[in-house]
């Protein structure tokens, strides 16, 4: 059995329960050289296609896994030696691993990301035909903790209005920051990266060009006229050559400065703590509640797929309420029929009126008491059916139906029965 090299930084917290710190690859290579080489080769490939931050994240997770193996299973030389039992042990270890600098243990979301990164690692080295690839599938969907799916946190219309009123009384730069985030839905990182020439005029209106960012796509966001005025005032007040659209205290803005500005304005507004990303969620929710299409919202926010945008359909409470109100009268009418489910007269004024006033429609052998608020796709279906026939012996009934419809201003039925009577007249004269 090969012992861990000096300086490997692996600590134990209980019998048989080691917890690896961020062991470095040279130390891992002394215990499991093939595993270290395979991991390094994989990470080199990731560096060619992913952003540096994504590669750093994958590197940390792979070193965490390798550190666990070298501490608990030093007999493992390469990835090909890893078995299902090692994965199960790593799963048990992750929730017990203490966080850095006294932080709490890893969250379920972090554990899910670690196991997902490992699974992708195993799959890729197999697909790429690495000689050290695992012999079989080692991580399955069921191994990953079920993720929480919370709704985005957004400001109510009342709180959003309070925030904007408070921003209007702030100094020009703070107001500009709040207005920009609230009216464009920018991510805070995108806002900080906007260059001095980000505003452009196309076909008579101003747009904000948002460069390549988190999802590797750039886009144009329409600018509210008030934002254009605020940006013009900010540009006129500057005397520098810093290539940023908005500056603060003589330099580019950082996400921490923006968070502090928003925190201060939210406190003045009396709405508690507000995170910059909440303004993005708020704009999307306001837009969908007021009829903006999902496709347009996705384009404005820079979403690659509608799946990312559909989450706002779940929080569009006003949209749901409007749709419900649109059918509630029809539902009330249904329940207020004499033979329906509710006849005690304790409903709304509209329902009470429907109980007393019925829309009698005369049929060949009776009446239909369907209230006018309820649509019926079968109305007059008999008379318009290709198999329907009549003759002059039915003229008295048809005339009675025509007169009954005329008394109730059912013009389409009047026309129908006039047509049938006229056809009988011409056919059987």
Q: Which of 257, 291, 315 is the last residue of a domain?
A: 315
Q: Which of 162, 174, 303, 404 is catalytic?
A: 303
Q: Look up residue 114 and give its two tokens.
A: 């670690």
Q: Which of 86, 113, 143 is the last residue of a domain?
A: 143
Residue 44 covered by a domain: yes
The reported pLDDT for the residue numbered 105 is 76
**Does the annotation mark 214 as catalytic?**
yes
More confident position, 308 or 296: 296
Q: Which of 64, 162, 183, 187 is catalytic?
A: 187
The CATH number covering residue 170 comes to 1.10.443.10
Q: Are 219 and 299 in contact (CB under 8 A)?
A: yes
R_g over Cα of the chain: 35
Cβ-Cβ contacts under 8 Å for 156 (sequence gap 6 or more): none
The reported pLDDT for the residue numbered 278 is 92
- Asked whether residue 246 falls in the same domain as residue 120, the answer is no
- Asked whether residue 418 falls in the same domain as residue 373, the answer is yes
- Asked whether residue 163 falls in the same domain as residue 310, the answer is yes
Work out the angle between the directed axes of helices 52-72 and 108-127 (0-180°, nearest 10).
90
Q: Which of 214, 256, 260, 314 is catalytic?
A: 214
- Asked whether residue 287 falls in the same domain as residue 379, the answer is no
Helices (H), 128-237: 157-168, 172-184, 188-193, 225-237
- Asked whether residue 381 falls in the same domain as residue 249, the answer is no
Task: Please name the helix (run of DSSP H) or strand (run of DSSP E) that holds residue 222, with its range, or none.
Answer: strand 219-222
Which of the listed ranges 26-40, 97-111, 371-385 does the model predict with the highest average pLDDT? Answer: 26-40
* pLDDT confidence bin for 322, thresholds 50/70/90: low
Counting residues of the chain whose pLDDT is more than 70, the rounded percentage is 74
Mean of all residue pLDDT scores within the chain = 81
Least confident among 29-33, 108-112, 359-363, 423-427: 359-363
Query: What pLDDT digit, counting tens, does each position of 256-300 carry?
Result: 999 999 999 999 999 999 999 999 999 988 888 888 888 888 888
- Asked whether residue 362 falls in the same domain as residue 352, the answer is no
Query: What pLDDT digit, counting tens, does each position of 196-240 carry?
Result: 999 999 888 999 998 765 545 578 999 999 999 999 999 999 988
Domain count, the chain: 4
Residue 5 covered by a domain: no
Classify 70 in phi/psi space as left (phi over 0), alpha (psi -120 to 50) or beta. alpha
**Does the annotation mark 84 as catalytic?**
no
| Pick from 98, 116, 9: nearest CA to 62 | 116
**Does the annotation mark 303 as catalytic?**
yes
**Does the annotation mark 312 as catalytic?**
yes
Residue 152 covered by a domain: no
Residue 342 covered by a domain: yes
Q: Rounded to 5 degrees, what are φ and ψ at 200?
A: -140, 155
- Asked whether residue 392 falls in the same domain as residue 263, the answer is no
Q: Which of 175, 244, 280, 281 is catalytic?
A: 280
Task: Please give the span between the terminal C-alpha atoms of the chain, in angstroms, as a whole number.
Answer: 112
- Asked whether residue 283 falls in the same domain as residue 174, the answer is yes
Distance CA 166, CA 101 (A): 38
- Asked whether residue 241 falls in the same domain as residue 229, the answer is yes
Classify 105 in phi/psi space as left (phi over 0), alpha (psi -120 to 50) or beta. beta
Q: Which of 277, 342, 360, 408 is catalytic?
A: 277
Helices (H), 185-254: 188-193, 225-237
Q: Which of 261, 294, 315 is the last residue of a domain?
A: 315
What is the residue range of 98's domain?
10-143
- Asked whether residue 185 falls in the same domain as residue 92, the answer is no
What 3-state class would DSSP assign to 201? Answer: strand
Residue 24 covered by a domain: yes
Q: Which of 244, 312, 370, 404 is catalytic?
A: 312
Q: The pTM is what?
A: 0.51
């Amino acid at each position: 059995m090969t012992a861990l090299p000096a300086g490997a930084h692996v600590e134990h917290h209980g019998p048989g329960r080691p917890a690896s710190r961020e062991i470095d690859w040279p130390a891992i290579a002394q215990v499991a050289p093939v595993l270290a080489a395979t991991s390094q080769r994989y990470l080199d490939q990731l560096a060619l296609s992913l952003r540096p931050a994504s590669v750093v994240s994958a590197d940390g997770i792979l070193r965490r896994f390798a550190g666990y193996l070298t501490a608990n299973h030093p007999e493992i030389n390469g990835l090909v030696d890893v078995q299902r039992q090692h994965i199960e042990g790593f799963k048990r270890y992750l929730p017990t691993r203490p966080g850095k600098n006294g932080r709490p243990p890893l969250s379920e979301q972090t554990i899910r990301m670690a196991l997902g990164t490992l699974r992708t690692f195993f799959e890729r080295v197999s697909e790429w035909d690495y000689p050290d690839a695992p012999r079989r599938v080692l991580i399955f969907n069921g191994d990953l903790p079920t993720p929480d799916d919370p709704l985005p946190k957004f400001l109510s219309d009342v709180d959003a209005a309070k925030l904007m009123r408070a921003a209007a009384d702030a100094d020009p730069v703070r107001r500009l920051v709040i207005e920009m985030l609230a009216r464009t839905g920018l991510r805070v990182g995108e806002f900080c990266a906007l260059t001095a020439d980000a505003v452009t005029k196309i076909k008579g209106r101003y747009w904000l060009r948002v460069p390549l960012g988190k999802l590797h796509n750039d886009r144009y966001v329409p600018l509210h006229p008030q934002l254009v005025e605020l940006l013009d005032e900010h540009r006129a007040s500057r005397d520098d050559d810093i290539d940023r659209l908005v500056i603060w205290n003589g330099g580019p803005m950082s996400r921490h400065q923006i968070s502090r500005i928003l925190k201060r304005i939210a406190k003045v507004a009396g709405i508690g703590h507000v995170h910059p990303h909440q303004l993005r969620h708020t704009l999307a929710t306001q837009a969908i509640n007021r009829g903006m299409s999902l496709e347009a919202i996705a384009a404005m926010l820079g979403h690659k797929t509608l799946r990312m945008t559909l989450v706002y359909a779940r929080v569009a409470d006003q949209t749901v309420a409007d749709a419900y109100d649109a059918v509630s009268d029809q539902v009330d009418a249904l329940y207020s029929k004499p033979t329906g489910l509710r006849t005690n007269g304790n409903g709304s004024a509209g329902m009470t009126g429907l109980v007393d006033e019925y829309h009698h429609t005369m049929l060949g052998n009776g009446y239909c008491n369907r209230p006018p608020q309820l649509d019926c796709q079968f109305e007059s279906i008999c008379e318009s059916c290709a198999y329907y026939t009549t003759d002059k012996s039915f003229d008295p009934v048809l005339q009675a139906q025509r007169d009954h419809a005329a008394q109730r201003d059912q013009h389409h039925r009047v026309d129908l029965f006039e047509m049938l009577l006229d056809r009988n007249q011409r056919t059987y004269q």
